[in-house]
A and B are shown apart, each in its own frame.
Chain A
Amino acid sequence: MTIGAAVGMANALLAMGLVLIYMSNRVINLAHGEFGAFAVAMMLALTRSARLNYWLALTISLLATAALAALIERGILRRLFASPRLIVLIATIGIAQLIIVGRLVLPKPRVAGGEQALIGGPNIFPLPFSFTPIEFRRVVIGPQHVLALVVGPLLALAVIAFLRYTSYGIALRAAAENMPRARLLGIPVGRVSTLAWIVGGVTAGMAGILLAPIIGFSATEAVGLPILMRGLAAAMAARMESIGIAFGVGLGLGITDQLVFFWTGRSGLTDLVLLAVILATLLLRRRASRRTVASEESSWEVAEPVRALPVEVTSHPRWRLLGGGAGALGAIVLALAPLPFGDSATFFLATVALVAVVAVSATVLTGWAGQMSLGQWALAGVGGVFGAKLVVTYGLPYWLAFVVAAIAGGIIALLLGLPAVRLEGTALAVVTLGFAVAASSWLFEQSWFRGSGFLVRPDFMPTTVYYFVSLGLLVVAVVAARAFQRKRIGRNMIAVRDNPLQAAAMGIDVNRTKLTAFVFSGVLAAAAGFLWSMGIGLADSGVFDPIRSLSIVAAIVIGGLGSVAGAIVGALYLLAVPYFAGDISPYVGLLASGVGLLLLVLLLPGGLARLMYGGRDLVARAITGLQVRS
């Protein structure tokens, strides 16, 4: 109970920060957990590597986090002031990836067992004071809990006082309620929003620092998202509106979490509980509150439709010759690709193909059906982990396991899609993110779901064959997606994406359309996931961690939302950068993804595909002499 309250304090702080940022920018800050993780990493670096005093290190860490938050608000969020909120949400993904890189390059304390070891407990994580932990039956209360119980409420009170009594605090609430009016009264909403980010960053940083000695902290990529989920569940329960409720729910969640842990003795349940809370609060409220609805309309303007070439061009003999020639050439190049390269390059190409399949599946879902999924890689993980179980534990032949795994992916996607019947846009994004986190920390760890040991690539599948199988899957995925797009269901999906109400009025079964899209993309993703784990021989939560789900989103945004070719290009970009530049820094992949995402969101919302189609039109104009504009 007490421990729960201590954890709850941290949750509550995170939730408050999320609500604050939501108030100022109308966006769920997916980088929020990264603020916490960043502060913790700073703290560790300063106390362990630089051997600073606790309080000094604390001040510096929080100041750095505040500066980071301010920088992000000024440099990125300010620029997206008028953009659709979903684009801003995607931008926060890019921000999260960049902060991860920033955190990982900080010096890490060396602990027995290597750098990557889980760092937990008061003996490694610094604390300002210590006393012998009080033991009370199975419960142990140490200084870290006391710290959380003291600092947490103080900080929360400070935030509430700030909002209630200071000019800027009231201005923040005012701007959240009626932004145009606030500006008309001369309230500098930009500065107010920067302030909100600073307060949000500091509370998140503090929460991370309080949380780390209690639940442990690992210096890996995947630590930020679980922290985010803790706050997100409570913030969603408070409808992103009430700081007070956010605090209360956060506290309650912490206690529930610890009680569940106390009774079951299992720790992976936390994320499951959080997912359940998010789902429950989202589904229970009758309709999304007016604010969330209003801010999400016309979210998909970015996915600017690409105009098909006019018939005069496509039927032009020279164009057909070129198209056929290019197609044939491409096929030959892809078919011969393994020959000149070694095993490792061929393997690399295979992984590109697989990630591209997942990206295509996400395109179907996100780009066409308008269902934002931040858990696409977790769907792949369903195929990978469950398929491995089928092969390793039950000894199923590979092809059968492949089919069953794909079907399992479809089923899980269907389950995941059920809430989508009721939710849209940001809310669904949050649910799928929760799924990604919970899948990684709970589902993929369950003995009934996960096999033990390695999934060995069978003898009949050397790297070259593996490459062709992967490529084949990609071709199937592209052809299927294209067919899907051209058939009625594809048109229905886009209709549902652009205007669900009107679509329903025209007699389209909105729910069925959404669910079909989910199943379709789940099958594709799971199939690719199975091949992926077969390729690397591993299938566990580390391989299918939620960060990669975000990278998939990055891939399709970078490539160009809503375009199959864009998805492939995006996947290629994401993998090629670390492949070719990986020896400069192990984090160059994340860096490329984050930078690419932000640049595109800021400069070229159409994605790389836009450029490609521009090039296509140029070529078409040049060889046929016809007027082409897309």
Chain B
Amino acid sequence: MKDAATPKGLRGRLSGYLAGEPLFPIVVLFLLNAVDEFDSRTFELLGPEIADHFGVGIGTFGLINIIAILLVPLVAMPVAYLGDRWKRMPLAVAGAAAWGAFSLGTGLAPTLVLLMVTRVGSSFGKVVNEPVHGSLIADFYSPRSRAKAFGLHSLANPVGAAVASVLAGGIAEALGFRAAFFFLAIPTLITLIVAMRLREPSRGSYERMETPDAPPLPETVRRLWAVRSLRYQYIGLAFAGGSILGIGVLVPFYLRDEFGVQPFLRGVLIGVGTALSAIGIVIGTAVAQRKLDERPSRGLVLLCWAGVVAAVSLVCLAIAPTLWLSILFIWTVMVVFAFVAPGLRAITALVAPPEIRSSAFALAGLIALSGSGFALAGFLIGDRYSVRWAVALMAPIFLRGVLYFFKAATFLDDDVERLLPGHRRKAAARGRRTPVLLEAQGLTVSYDGVRVLFGVDLEIRRGEIVALLGTNGAGKSTTLNAISGIVVPDGGNVWFEGQAVTGEAPERTAARGIVQVPGGRGVFPGLSVAENLKMGCFLIRRDTSLVAERMDEVATLFPRLAERMPQRAGSLSGGERQMLTLAQSFVLRPKLLLIDELSLGLAPALVQELLEAVREMNRSGITIVLVEQSVNIALTLADRAYFMEKGEVRFHGATADLLKRRDLLRSVFLEGAAKRRQ
């Protein structure tokens, strides 16, 4: 074995690397992890020969591969569960024995069905590696050298793959593909024997993984999904994972079908690529770590551009006219994949809440598998047309995934910041049911790089009317727009009924029950009044009886509108339009109504009528936030008020208290109002 052949110097250095902790465990686990690659790499590399032997195309071959992988999650959870209760070393050894046996079986399988069974069996065997090895390393090594041990352990994958590619290719070329499986089962057997000598470490010998009360699964998934940068990464992963899976299977076929590359050369080429990608991992870890330290989003964007490079390389690969060019592109793709992986893992760790971090990784794995449909589509195209087309198909799919990662990058910094301790405590407290309907915290908004809101905090309780006052350009309307989602805030958060709604599209927030009444431009002038109201009912359109009921209510609340149902809204007077706007929002019966400039440019008599309607809506249980220029109106309606100036909240409290604030009232427009009231 390799460790036996290693010179004393390396051994000494490794020992130093791990701060004098024992080497034997990591060597064993490294070997187990490496020989795991032997089996899967051999199968992938020799795909063309196996497919030919059984007389099937890429489609069927790929399907077997996908099924074997897709069944993994079925046993992954139970194995992880067992790993937390049983002795783990026997489990690891049993797993290795299983895939070793099934790997041998692959070499023997006489029919396609049996081949499939062996594949499924061997991938079940490999399931033990991820959870069990991780847990073992944590107990073999102290936190000080644990990261390094993990690093060494994951290095086993490329090393194993590179060795396997070359060996399998060579053996298959000389003796056929079945022989390759036989010979490559031997290292697995030897490793098994060595592994049996490793003693089980005492569980939690250093501390246990700190997982305080991890929430139940659905809650976990929901919470992960709520992190926007994570969500877009997951979606992107479905695309990217599918295409990566596809490429893995397609490349050997591509080399064989397009350039007639025989197994050995193929193995060498892919082996060299794997070795190169090990360099990619090392560089990727360093570069990504540096960029991530600088600013997380910058790191992700860098990885995304690397992804674009891979996509372009895939296209080039699809049209590459010569073998050497195509090799160049294959290597590029492999290196980029390897380069990106550690960075992405680090980013997931960065934004996932710590207590559900391991679930975040598990979910990522599952989602990456869910993209295997794309791979299958590629295989079918490869069968029907040519491998080139299949490779070409993978490029846009992969690129689609990369675009999602770009999108994730735009949310990343914000999400990372949100995990800072202070934020988290608050968010937890907020989860409890309070009479608070809407809360905004630290809301900042910029237009074209010019900041107009500087950390606005708001708290709106159920059932109240709150006025938002301020001079022109103070940011009142912008605040409303940021809540309803018309503008996307670049910082801060909005919670509605305890859930984060920051940056959600207005149609989503409307569905949640936040409806904004824009001042003076709320109607659709070309549509009739009836059609305008119908648009107000869009969200409840399926419930026709409810729609009819609400329409009747509107007719009683605004008799004037009822008379003008067939008229075009454009022909209404200003006051009637404002009424229509209110009515449109009223039929939806929102939980929170954001009213912008209700009285702008209207005659006092009309304003009174509208105010009455607003009160009526409030009485029916709708919470109302009112932005007003006219302080008189605001103060007669509202219980509480926020006073804004230059993009910040200067005062908030009961309206009566606002009147006592001389300093604020000195501000131009309030003065007159205060005098009048006194």
Point out residues on A near B: beta carbons under 8 Å: 167, 170-171, 173-174, 177-178, 180-190, 581, 584, 588, 602-603
A456–chain B nearest beta-carbon distance, Å? 35
Q: Which residues of B contact A167 (CB under 8 A)?
A: 534, 538, 541
Q: Which residues of A contact B527 (CB under 8 A)?
A: 170, 173-174, 177
For residue A186, which residue of chain B has the nearest CB? B510
For residue A242, which residue of chain B has the nearest CB? B526
Q: Is B525's CB under 8 angstroms from A185's CB?
A: no
Q: Which residues of A contact B485 (CB under 8 A)?
A: 183
Q: Is A177's CB under 8 angstroms from B526's CB?
A: yes
Q: Which residues of A contact B524 (CB under 8 A)?
A: 173-174, 177-178, 181-182
Q: Is B521 an interface residue (CB 8 A)?
A: yes
Q: Is A184's CB under 8 angstroms from B506's CB?
A: yes
A238–chain B nearest beta-carbon distance, Å? 14
A172–chain B nearest beta-carbon distance, Å? 11
Q: Is A181's CB under 8 angstroms from B518's CB?
A: yes
Instruction: Name which of A170, A184, A188, A190 has the most chain B CB atoms within 10 A of its CB.
Output: A184
Q: Is B588's CB under 8 angstroms from A178's CB?
A: no
Q: Is B196 an interface residue (CB 8 A)?
A: no
A483–chain B nearest beta-carbon distance, Å? 34
Contacts known (A167-B534, A173-B527); A181 close to B521, Cβ less than 8 A: yes
Q: Is B531 an interface residue (CB 8 A)?
A: yes
Q: Is A184's CB under 8 angstroms from B510's CB?
A: yes
CB contact between A186 and one of B403, B518, B538 (< 8 Å): that residue:
B538
Q: Which residues of B contact A183 (CB under 8 A)?
A: 485-486, 505-507, 510
Q: Is B507's CB under 8 angstroms from A584's CB?
A: no
For residue A170, which residue of chain B has the nearest CB? B531
Interchain CA distance A109-B146 in the complex, whole Å: 67
Contacts known (A183-B486, A183-B507); A177 close to B536, Cβ less than 8 A: no
Q: Is B534's CB under 8 angstroms from A188's CB?
A: no
Q: Which residues of A contact B541 (CB under 8 A)?
A: 167
Q: Is B578 an interface residue (CB 8 A)?
A: no
Given A173-B527, A185-B539, 16 more pairs with CB closer than 8 A: A167-B538, A171-B535, A174-B524, A174-B527, A177-B524, A181-B523, A181-B524, A182-B535, A183-B510, A185-B536, A185-B585, A186-B510, A190-B507, A581-B319, A602-B403, A603-B308
Q: Give the contacts of B493-551 with A (CB-CB under 8 A).
A: 505-507, 510-511, 515-518, 521-527, 531-532, 534-536, 538-539, 541
Contact size class for B? 20 to 34
Interchain CA distance A190-B508 in the complex, whole Å: 12
Q: Is A584's CB under 8 angstroms from B319's CB?
A: yes
Q: Is A188's CB under 8 angstroms from B507's CB?
A: yes
Interchain CA distance A496-B524 in the complex, whole Å: 34
Q: Which residues of A contact B523 (CB under 8 A)?
A: 178, 181
Instruction: Name which of A167, A183, A190, A588 has the most chain B CB atoms within 10 A of its CB.
Output: A183
Q: Is B484 an interface residue (CB 8 A)?
A: yes
Interchain CA distance A181-B524 in the complex, whole Å: 8
Contacts known (A181-B521, A181-B522); A187 close to B538, Cβ less than 8 A: yes
Q: Is B534's CB under 8 angstroms from A180's CB?
A: no
For residue B484, which residue of chain A has the nearest CB? A184
For residue A301, which residue of chain B has the nearest CB? B448
Interchain CA distance A166-B484 in the complex, whole Å: 27
Q: Is B584 an interface residue (CB 8 A)?
A: yes
Q: Which residues of A contact B511 (CB under 8 A)?
A: 186
Q: Which residues of A contact B531 (CB under 8 A)?
A: 170, 173-174
Interchain CA distance A388-B127 in the complex, whole Å: 74
Q: Is A189's CB under 8 angstroms from B535's CB?
A: no
Q: Can you spell out 10 A-B residue pairs with CB atoms less than 8 angstroms apart? A: A171-B538, A177-B524, A177-B526, A181-B522, A182-B524, A183-B485, A183-B486, A185-B536, A187-B538, A581-B321
Interchain CA distance A177-B527 in the complex, whole Å: 9
Interchain CA distance A170-B524 in the complex, whole Å: 10
Q: Is A170's CB under 8 angstroms from B535's CB?
A: yes
Interchain CA distance A65-B291 in the complex, whole Å: 45
Q: Which residues of A contact B585 (CB under 8 A)?
A: 185
Interchain CA distance A73-B614 in the complex, whole Å: 40
Q: Is B588's CB under 8 angstroms from A186's CB?
A: yes
Q: Which residues of B contact A584 (CB under 8 A)?
A: 319
Q: Which residues of A contact B521 (CB under 8 A)?
A: 178, 181
Instruction: Name which of A170, A185, A190 has the most chain B CB atoms within 10 A of its CB.
Output: A185
Instruction: Name which of A173, A181, A183, A602 has the most chain B CB atoms within 10 A of its CB.
Output: A181
Q: Is B510's CB under 8 angstroms from A174's CB?
A: no
A114–chain B nearest beta-carbon distance, Å? 25
A430–chain B nearest beta-carbon distance, Å? 23
B42–chain A nearest beta-carbon distance, Å? 33
Q: Is B518's CB under 8 angstroms from A187's CB?
A: no
Q: Which residues of B contact A190 (CB under 8 A)?
A: 507
Q: Is B534's CB under 8 angstroms from A170's CB?
A: yes
Contacts known (A170-B535, A581-B319); A180 close to B518, Cβ less than 8 A: yes
A298–chain B nearest beta-carbon distance, Å? 10
Contacts known (A167-B541, A173-B524, A178-B523); A185 close to B486, Cβ less than 8 A: no
Interchain CA distance A581-B320 in the complex, whole Å: 9
Q: Which residues of B contact A588 (CB under 8 A)?
A: 319
Q: Is B525's CB under 8 angstroms from A177's CB?
A: yes
Q: Is A185's CB under 8 angstroms from B538's CB?
A: yes
Q: Give the contacts of B406-427 with A (CB-CB under 8 A).
A: none
Instruction: Name which of A181, A183, A186, A603 has the most chain B CB atoms within 10 A of its CB.
Output: A186
For residue B525, which residue of chain A has the nearest CB? A177
Q: Is B535's CB under 8 angstroms from A184's CB?
A: no
Q: Is B584's CB under 8 angstroms from A185's CB?
A: yes
Interchain CA distance A50-B599 in the complex, whole Å: 66
Interchain CA distance A36-B321 in the complex, whole Å: 35
Q: Which residues of B contact A581 (CB under 8 A)?
A: 319, 321
A191–chain B nearest beta-carbon distance, Å? 9
Q: Is B535's CB under 8 angstroms from A180's CB?
A: no
Q: Is A189's CB under 8 angstroms from B538's CB?
A: no
For residue A169, which residue of chain B has the nearest CB? B531
For residue B512, which residue of chain A has the nearest CB? A186
B577–chain A nearest beta-carbon distance, Å? 12
B314–chain A nearest beta-carbon distance, Å? 13
B399–chain A nearest beta-carbon distance, Å? 9
B305–chain A nearest beta-carbon distance, Å? 9
Q: Which residues of A contact B505 (CB under 8 A)?
A: 183
Q: Is A187's CB under 8 angstroms from B515's CB?
A: no
For residue B585, which residue of chain A has the nearest CB? A185
Q: Is B319's CB under 8 angstroms from A173's CB?
A: no
* A-B residue pairs, 6 tightest by C-beta: A186-B510, A183-B506, A186-B539, A177-B524, A174-B524, A184-B516
Interchain CA distance A36-B516 in the complex, whole Å: 41
Q: Is A174's CB under 8 angstroms from B535's CB?
A: yes
Interchain CA distance A603-B541 in the complex, whole Å: 38
Q: Which residues of A contact B522 (CB under 8 A)?
A: 178, 181
Interchain CA distance A100-B671 in the complex, whole Å: 67
For residue A602, which residue of chain B has the nearest CB? B403
A186–chain B nearest beta-carbon distance, Å? 3
Interchain CA distance A602-B532 in the complex, whole Å: 35
For residue A176, which residue of chain B has the nearest CB? B526
Q: Is B518's CB under 8 angstroms from A189's CB?
A: no
Q: Which residues of B contact A178 (CB under 8 A)?
A: 521-525
Interchain CA distance A185-B517 in the complex, whole Å: 9
Interchain CA distance A20-B535 in the complex, whole Å: 18
A119–chain B nearest beta-carbon distance, Å? 26
CB contact between A187 and one of B403, B486, B517, B535 (< 8 Å): that residue:
B535
Interchain CA distance A550-B517 in the complex, whole Å: 43
Q: Which residues of A contact B588 (CB under 8 A)?
A: 185-186
Interchain CA distance A170-B527 in the complex, whole Å: 8
Q: Give the contacts of B469-494 with A (CB-CB under 8 A).
A: 484-486
Q: Give the contacts of B83-103 with A (CB-CB under 8 A).
A: none
Q: Which residues of A contact B484 (CB under 8 A)?
A: 184
Interchain CA distance A506-B511 in the complex, whole Å: 50
B393–chain A nearest beta-carbon distance, Å? 14
Interchain CA distance A189-B486 in the complex, whole Å: 13
Q: Which residues of B contact A186 (CB under 8 A)?
A: 506-507, 510-511, 515, 538-539, 588
A368–chain B nearest beta-carbon distance, Å? 23
For residue A583, which residue of chain B has the nearest CB? B321
